[in-house]
A = this chain, B = another copy of it.
Amino acid sequence: MAVIGCGLIGSSVIRAAREAGVVGEVAVADLSEAHRKRIVELGYADTVTGDVAEAVAGADLVVFAVPVLAMGEAARAAAGALKPGATVTDVGSVKGSVAEALSEALSADSVFIVPGHPIAGTEHSGPEAGFAELFQNRWVILTPEAREDAAYLEAVDRLAEFWRALGANVERMDTGHHDLVLAVTSHLPHLIAYNIVGTAADMEQVTRAEVMKYSAGGFRDFTRIAASDPTMWRDVFVANREAVLEILGRFTEDLQALSRAIRWGEADKLYDLFSRTREIRRGIIAAGQESPEPNFGRDRGKH
C-alpha cells in the first residue's frame, strides 16, 4: 500500500490496516520534511519519501490523503509509476472535483480509480494525530465510476472489503449526491463553526478572555471543529462551492425566520423548533454515531 499525504487520515489508515493485518509493505510520500521525520520516528511505514512516484511504484493499493485541491497534482506525480492493475482511491471530503482530477491525471485503462471518503476524524492534524480505531463504526462512502466491467467491480469490492477490515461500514453513492449530503452533515457545520468563533473573537464589547472564560455555556462546542486543519477546509469550500452555497442559503433563510420569531416574541414557533431538534440527536445516538453520555462524555473524569 502507498499512502500519499500522511496527516490525521493517512496515518490512521496505515495504523488501522497494520492492526487489521491487511497490508504488507507500506510506503508513504509526504511533501513536508518535518512530517517525514516524524513518520520515520513513529515507525509505521517501511518507506518514507518526498517522491510520490517512488512511493507508488509496485503498490497494489494507492491512497491519496492530501487536501482536495492537491489531489490532481499528486495523481499526476504518481501517474507514470503506478503498477498496472493497481487500485487508486482517496479520502477527500469532496468527491465531484476529486473524481474528475483523478480521472484526468490517470489512465483508467491501466488502474482502477475508486474515489472514497471516510466520515471520520478529529480536530487534530499531522502524522502523530492518527489512531487505529478512528474508522471503527464510522461510514466510508465510495463513489465508483460508471463502469460495469467485472475487473472494475471486483476492485470496488476489494476496496470495500479493505475498509470493512479497518472497522468501517461502507456505502456507495454518486459523487453529486455525496457532495450534497456532506455539505449538510459536514461542510456547513464547519463553516458555521468557523464563522461563530470568528464573530466572537472580533466583538469589541466582549473580550476574548470573557469568551474563553464563559465558553462552557455552549460556545466551546463550536471551537472543536473550528480547530480543524485550515488547508483541508479551505480546499473543501473551494472545491464544493455550489453545494455549500445552496445549503448555506437554506440555513440563512431558516435563521432569518428564527430571528423574526425572536424579534416578535413568537414563543410557540421557538418552542416547536427547539422540541423537534431533540429527535435528531436521539436518532444519531441510536445509529451508533454519537456518545449517549451527557456533554459528549467530556465530564467523565468528574463523576
Contacts and interface: CB of A to CB of B under 8 A. Distances in A.
A194 B277 contact: yes
Q: How large is the interface on A (under 10, 10 to 19, 20 to 34, 35 or more residues)?
A: 35 or more
Q: Which of A133, A205, A238, A280 has the most CB of B within 10 A?
A: A280
A191 B226 CA distance: 17
A274 B233 contact: yes
Contacts of A274: 194, 226, 228, 230, 233-234
Determine how many copies of this chain the complex contains.
2
Interface SS majority for chain A: helix
A296 B6 CA distance: 23
Interface string A256-267: 001100110101
Interface string A180-224: 111011111111111111111111011010111111111111111
18 contacts: A122-B295, A122-B299, A123-B281, A124-B294, A131-B302, A181-B214, A185-B217, A192-B196, A202-B254, A208-B283, A216-B290, A223-B290, A226-B281, A227-B282, A234-B267, A234-B270, A245-B262, A297-B300
Interface of A: 93, 119-124, 129, 131, 133-134, 136, 138-139, 141, 171, 177, 180-182, 184-203, 205-206, 208, 210-228, 230-231, 233-234, 237-238, 241, 244-245, 247-248, 250-252, 254-255, 258-259, 262-263, 265, 267, 270-271, 273-278, 280-284, 286-287, 289-291, 293-300, 302-303
